[in-house]
C-alpha cells in the first residue's frame, strides 16, 4: 500500500515534549486492554443494537428480543458479555431480569459515536 503525502511527515523529526505529553496521557495497559475489549464487543451489530435500545431505558430479555428481532438466547448471551465488560447492569424483579446501561459513561460513548457517524464528512476524506 502506497502512503499518500498527507499520511506521512515530509521531514522526519521527533518532538520530545509532545511525545512525553502524549505518553503521560496514555492509560495503563490494563485499562487499554479493557477499552479495546469493549470496543471489540461494540463491533458486533447485534450487541451494539442492544445498547442503543437500552438508551431508552431498562428492558427485560424478552422485550429486548422483541425489539431487536433476535432470539432470547442470543440476547441473553450478548447481555452476559456486555455485563462482563460493565456496559450493562442487571436488576432482578421477581423472576424477571431487567437490563440498563451500566452508567452515563456508556451512554455518553454511544451518544458521541452516533453523533460522529451522523456528521457530514466536511473535509471530504
What would the pLDDT profile of 47-101 be if each residue is shown by its tens digit? 999 999 999 999 999 999 999 999 999 999 999 999 999 999 999 999 999 999 9
- Domains annotated for the chain, with CATH where assigned, are 29-118 (1.10.10.10)
Percent of the chain scoring above 90 in pLDDT:
82
Residues 45 and 93: beta-carbon distance below 8 Å: no
pLDDT beyond 60 at 32: yes
SS3 55: coil
Work out the percent of the chain whose per-residue pLDDT is above 70: 92
pLDDT at 3 over 90: no
Cα torsion 62, 64, 69, 71: sign: negative
- Dist. CA 76–CA 31, nearest whole Å: 26
* pLDDT at 125 exceeding the cut of 60: no
User: pLDDT at position 122, please?
Assistant: 63
Q: What sections of 13-118 are H helices per DSSP?
A: 16-25, 29-42, 45-54, 61-68, 72-84, 104-118
Amino acid at each position: 500500500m502506497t502512503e499518500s503525502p498527507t499520511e506521512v511527515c515530509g521531514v522526519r523529526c521527533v518532538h520530545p515534549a509532545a511525545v512525553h505529553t502524549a505518553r503521560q496521557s496514555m492509560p495503563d495497559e490494563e485499562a487499554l486492554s479493557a477499552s479495546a475489549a469493549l470496543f471489540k464487543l461494540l463491533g458486533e451489530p447485534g450487541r451494539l443494537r442492544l445498547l442503543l435500545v437500552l438508551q431508552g431505558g431498562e428492558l427485560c430479555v424478552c422485550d429486548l428480543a422483541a425489539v431487536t428481532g433476535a432470539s432470547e438466547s442470543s440476547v441473553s448471551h450478548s447481555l452476559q458479555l456486555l455485563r462482563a465488560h460493565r456496559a450493562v447492569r442487571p436488576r432482578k424483579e421477581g423472576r424477571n431480569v431487567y437490563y440498563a446501561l451500566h452508567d452515563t459513561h456508556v451512554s455518553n460513548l454511544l451518544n458521541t459515536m452516533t453523533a460522529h457517524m451522523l456528521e457530514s464528512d466536511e473535509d471530504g476524506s
